[in-house]
């Protein structure tokens, strides 16, 4: 008669314990089993050091490297209209609700990048630093189309800044780390992988994102605006959205897009007061260590401060003032808060050799002498770029080209008229628009006041649409 053998799994203190059949279980004697010995203090110290060395993973190093450059954002939003009574039980008052998000310090003077939706329509913004200090913040620039915003706090001391990487060489399956104010739990760390790259995501008819990073690192409400990092601790993106109802599907704006938009926002803040004439772009070059980012001058406007300083097309900008330049918004950080006429020390690399020049910002030129893109921004509040004419002629054979709207000032005339990022401007008043000079011609026309409201024509979703812009002067 054979005996029945049974298996049981018992969970104790989180660990499974396997119980064998009775005839397989025997006590351990001194000869066959391990023995317990006491450790003196020196041995115990060695054991602790050995254990900590094994436990200190790359993730631990990343968190320690960037923690001080991640901030927690707490906001208050005013409620308008009627709200169900049960809603108020969660609110500190009957007309405000609390919000939360995360931010990334990009400049020691207290400039912070986050998502626009984190600070949209809020009345109070409070920043909590990693050391617990709390400071009120102001929104200094915003880009609703890209869902990015720039905040500023004043703490009277230099702050740690986030090291920047690139998303250009991201690999699917690569380890990434998210840090954020998840559900109000400050500096929450989660780890995952890059699930996909170049994802296009639509939230609704009004908001869509292009070329996002998808990750399974846990991203929750409150993570918005926070960093996604590679295993070296370099920023590869800004967390922006999750798939509702899904598990492990989060999305991140690539850092390369963030750098471009932040540079544009900083530059737009200076346009009202100063002028440099620099036109530059980020250039990525592959190397044995990965990717190197450089900032290269495209051109300098004629008779501009840049031309007067001797800066030439093709120069690599190495340093502006006391700011080393690793990306395009470093140029703007170096020029920020500078007064017109103040000499700024700039280092450029030309034909492999570094040269030092001095550039003095000029006062913002009159609109009649302004660069076309400056004039367009001042009067309409948009930035435009030339696109392939075939994209327009496919929609309507009578059209010969147009300009894509790449950025919209939320307070500008174009935004008030309903123009959005991604629209293609093909006409103003009675003129077809093929380049920036065409736009400048219309905006500088002596009869412009009689055009108000100024009619415009755009291509959106494969259709030509007409609208009117008021208050253009």
- Look at residue 446 and tell me if it is in a domain: yes
**Residue 224 annotated among the catalytic residues of the structure:** yes
**Average pLDDT of 29-35?**
43
The tally of domains found in the chain comes to: 4
| Least confident window among 79-88, 167-176, 348-357 | 79-88
342, 363, 384 - which closes a domain: 363
Catalytic one among 69, 75, 116, 117?
Answer: 117
Q: Does pLDDT of 299 surpass 60?
A: yes
**Average pLDDT of 37-42?**
53
Catalytic one among 69, 218, 224, 304?
Answer: 224
Same domain, 179 and 123: no
Same domain, 388 and 342: no
pLDDT of residue 272: 61
Same domain, 350 and 386: no
**Average pLDDT of 273-297?**
84
Residue range of the domain that includes 227: 175-257
Same domain, 329 and 412: no
Q: List pLDDT tens digits, range 197-230.
A: 999 988 776 678 889 999 999 999 999 999 999 9
Q: List pLDDT tens digits, range 284-295.
A: 888 777 788 899
pLDDT of residue 370: 58
257, 281, 309 - which closes a domain: 257
**Average pLDDT of 294-308?**
81
CATH at 114: 2.40.10.10
Same domain, 379 and 457: yes
Same domain, 356 and 433: no
- Look at residue 33 and tell me if it is in a domain: no
pLDDT of residue 364: 64
CATH at 319: 2.30.42.10
Q: Does pLDDT of 192 surpass 80?
A: yes
**Residue 147 annotated among the catalytic residues of the structure:** yes
3-state secondary structure the chain: CCCCCCCEEEEECCEEEEECCHHHCCCCCCCCCCCCCCCCHHHHHHHHHHHHHHHCCHHHHHHHHHHHHEEEEEEEEECCCCCCHHHHHHCCECCEEEEEEEEEEEECCCEEEECHHHHCCEEEEEEECCCCCEEECEEEEEECCCCEEEEECCCCCCCCCCCECCCCCCCCCCEEEEEEEECCEEEEEEEEEEEEEEEEEECCCCCEEEEEEEECCCCCCCCCCCEEEECCCCEEEEEEEECCCCCCCEEEEEHHHHHHHHHHHHHHHHCCCEECCEEEEEEEEEECCEEEEEEEEEEECCCCHHHHHCCCCCCEEEEECCEECCCHHHHHHHHCCCCCCCEEEEEEEECCEEEEEEEECEECCCCCCCCHHHHHHHHHCEEEEECCHHHHHCCCCCCCCCEEEEEECCCCHHHHCCCCCCCEEEEECCEECCCHHHHHHHHCCCCHHHHCCEEEEEEECCEEEEEEECCCC
| Least confident window among 12-26, 61-75, 263-277 | 12-26
Q: List pLDDT tens digits, range 82-102.
A: 433 333 223 333 455 788 999
Q: What is the mean pLDDT of the chain?
A: 82
Catalytic one among 69, 107, 147, 423?
Answer: 147
- Look at residue 80 and tell me if it is in a domain: yes
Same domain, 77 and 140: yes
- Look at residue 352 and tell me if it is in a domain: yes
Q: List pLDDT tens digits, range 371-386.
A: 788 888 888 999 998 8
209, 233, 257 - which closes a domain: 257
């Amino acid at each position: 008669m054979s005996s029945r053998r049974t298996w049981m799994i018992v969970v104790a203190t989180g660990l499974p314990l396997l119980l064998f059949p009775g005839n397989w279980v025997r006590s351990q004697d001194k000869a066959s089993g391990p023995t317990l010995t006491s450790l003196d203090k020196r041995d115990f110290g060695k054991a602790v050091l050995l254990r900590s060395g094994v436990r200190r993973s790359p993730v631990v190093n990343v968190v320690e490297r960037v923690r001080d450059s991640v901030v927690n954002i707490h906001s208050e939003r005013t409620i308008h209209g009627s709200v169900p009574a049960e809603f108020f039980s969660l609110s500190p008052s009957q007309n405000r609700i609390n919000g939360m998000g995360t931010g990334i310090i990009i400049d020691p003077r207290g400039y912070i990048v986050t998502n626009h939706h984190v600070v949209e329509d809020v009345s109070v913004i409070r920043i909590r630093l990693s050391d617990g200090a709390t400071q009120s913040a102001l929104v200094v620039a915003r880009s609703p189309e890209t869902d990015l915003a720039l905040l500023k706090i004043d703490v009277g001391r230099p702050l740690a800044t986030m090291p920047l990487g690139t998303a250009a060489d991201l690999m699917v399956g690569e380890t990434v780390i998210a840090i954020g104010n998840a559900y109000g739990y400050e500096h929450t760390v989660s780890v995952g992988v890059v699930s996909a790259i170049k994802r296009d995501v639509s939230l609704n008819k009004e908001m869509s994102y292009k070329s996002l990073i998808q990750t399974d690192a846990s991203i929750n409400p409150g993570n918005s605006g926070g960093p996604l990092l590679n295993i070296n601790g370099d920023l590869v993106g800004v967390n922006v959205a999750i798939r509702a109802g899904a598990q492990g599907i989060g999305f991140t704006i690539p850092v390369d897009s963030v750098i471009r938009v932040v540079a544009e926002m900083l530059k737009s803040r200076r346009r009202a007061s100063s002028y440099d004439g620099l036109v530059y772009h980020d250039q990525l070059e592959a190397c044995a260590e990965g990717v190197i980012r450089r900032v290269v001058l495209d051109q300098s406007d004629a008779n501009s401060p840049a031309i007067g300083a001797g800066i030439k097309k093709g120069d690599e900008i190495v340093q502006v003032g006391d700011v080393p330049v690793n990306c395009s918004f470093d140029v703007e950080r170096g020029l920020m808060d500078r007064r017109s006429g103040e000499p700024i020390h700039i280092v450029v690399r030309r034909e492999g050799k570094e040269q030092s020049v001095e550039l003095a910002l000029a006062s913002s030129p009159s609109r009649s002498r302004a660069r076309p893109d400056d004039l367009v921004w001042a009067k309409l509040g948009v930035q435009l770029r030339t696109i392939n004419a075939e994209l327009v002629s496919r929609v309507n054979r009578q059209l010969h080209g147009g300009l894509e709207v790449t950025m919209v000032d939320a307070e500008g005339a174009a935004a008030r008229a309903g123009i959005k990022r991604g629209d293609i401007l093909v006409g103003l008043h009675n003129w077809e628009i093929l380049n920036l000079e065409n736009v400048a011609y219309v905006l500088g026309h002596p009869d412009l006041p009689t055009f108000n409201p100024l009619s415009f024509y755009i291509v959106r979703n494969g259709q030509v649409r007409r609208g009117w812009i008021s208050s253009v002067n």
